[in-house]
Structure 1
């Protein structure tokens, strides 16, 4: 398997059941997101300004790209590149500001879902394959308690990091310092848009893209790779590369989870572009691409009627030259 991190954090051989469990309302999740949504709708309307909208756009871009996509997902969870610890912590801090969870919580949430989707069957909560309204309610307002979950262990390097421990225990409160800065410069309107609006939209968008990235549709070309034995396949969500900073190319990611590059052959991947920019100034090294990862026996390329070639050129293994962003 190419994604060794998941296998060191979850024991795939353990007697765990990804199917049977109970979905329960989570007061914390529900109140958190609903409160942010109401704060944005009410406060954002009363104290509306175009400067507040600009704060919303810029803060979403910074936290979602540098924080969620690069810091939490490509670095902390998949270890798809190397960088100095101080830079990693900056990325992860920005990822915490997204408002989904702290670093440990993000790892557990992501890894449990990935583990379940790689099994022959899993609970509909973990597959996103319920109706869209039910999945919205489940993901933003509920939690799943499996009857027999697998044991999970956060790696010592992360679990024993005091900075990450503080972020995890105070991940909701981390919005407060930023809110104070926004209030000082722009008043309640900037807080409503830069905190409440940003968190509400980011959490909702994370769910919505995840829903379509795990469900089939009439466009069969949304998938270039098939994972044998997996109960859930990933799908590329076209047209959202810029908006999701590359996270929409989910079929690519299911095929090569350890790759720092998510978009291929013209698929827009701003997260990759940013990583390449950091690499050019020497702050990032070992940028994994599909060609750098071990082959997976269960991975099958899918050919389409209009293209009987490999879905995309894997290229040659990483060399000392910097990767192309194309």
Structure 2
């Protein structure tokens, strides 16, 4: 029996919203609100210096960074944005929920904006190009601009037809709030190991989220400035092994901009791509399938 037959099929699909009034999500309506929220998260992360540390708390910070980075890189990016593999509807929503817990809004918002970025990469229409608007705008400021809080479902109709994803985009803050409460509960349960609720919250949620933000934002900003260009993509995308390490493989950014539909962004064996390794393992378990490869003729088209 085929793997696809063993996995849940899509249920009743919702029509793509057409009224722009339906496109607003739950983010604040002003850039000031966005900046305040951004600042408060960073201030909260400094709480790690006041609650002490323990090995369980540090391990949770690392685990939540890696797990949520994988949800962003593997699913928000390679799945929702580029459809580089297939999966079941249940797993699709599960990783969308995990990605939303990273405080990077919902999968439809994220993927729609990313598709726009590829269409206009480093051109005036690009929302986060360091060439056009400088480092700080491309790294942080574009996220808090109120005009960028709108989800244009017309840019992602293939996934906007799923009502649960539309719901998650509108109420994406449910996920990080739930994760914060989970950290508090785990801290209470793990007190025999030398940690406590506030310690787990500040290390496992706040500090982990801030590190995750800047890891992700680095690809928008620094990966269009520092590194090498194997391919002529018409933009400033770069390959950078350090950024690839920090983001589980996203640092092979010039590769990705040259052939964005590949599941693997490290085109060669020495270009480590932890996200791809995870997706490959999931494919062996029947959880994902139809991983898209890089054709040999694409690899060969590097700059002379």
TM-score normalised by the chain length of structure 2 = 0.77
Q: CA deviation at 1:300?
A: 5.1
> Which of 78, 96, 102 matches 1:98?
102
Q: CA deviation at 1:138?
A: 2.4
Unmatched 5+ stretches in structure 1: 1-8, 10-23, 146-150, 304-326
Contact residue 68 and residue 99 of structure 2 kept, 8 A: yes
Q: CA deviation at 1:250?
A: 0.2
Contact residue 30 and residue 140 of structure 1 kept, 8 A: no
Deviations 1:77-122 (A, max 9, x none): 111001111112112211111211111210222122222217xx42
> Which of 221, 230, 252 matches 1:224?
230
Q: Which residue of structure 1 aligns with residue 201 of structure 2?
A: 191
SS of residue in 2 equivalent to 1:235:
coil
Contact residue 33 and residue 140 of structure 1 kept, 8 A: no
Contact residue 53 and residue 193 of structure 1 kept, 8 A: yes
Contact residue 234 and residue 254 of structure 1 kept, 8 A: yes
1:259-298 aligned within 5 A: 259-265=262-268, 266-291=270-295
Unmatched 5+ stretches in structure 2: 1-15, 17-28, 188-196
Does residue 86 in structure 1 map to residue 96 in structure 2? no
1:168-179 aligned within 5 A: 168-179=169-180
Quickly say closer, same or farther: Cα 1:68–1:134, change in 2 above 3 A: closer
More helix by share: 2
Does residue 245 in structure 1 map to residue 255 in structure 2? no
Q: CA deviation at 1:279?
A: 1.3
Whole-angstrom CA distance in 2 between matches of 1:170 and 1:56? 24
Q: CA deviation at 1:136?
A: 4.2
Whole-angstrom CA distance in 2 between matches of 1:124 and 1:105? 15
Q: Which residue of structure 1 aligns with residue 24 of structure 2?
A: none
SS of residue in 2 equivalent to 1:73:
helix
Whole-angstrom CA distance in 2 between matches of 1:77 and 1:140? 17
Give the 4+ runs in structure 1 shifted more than 6 A: none
Whole-angstrom CA distance in 2 between matches of 1:205 and 1:300? 29
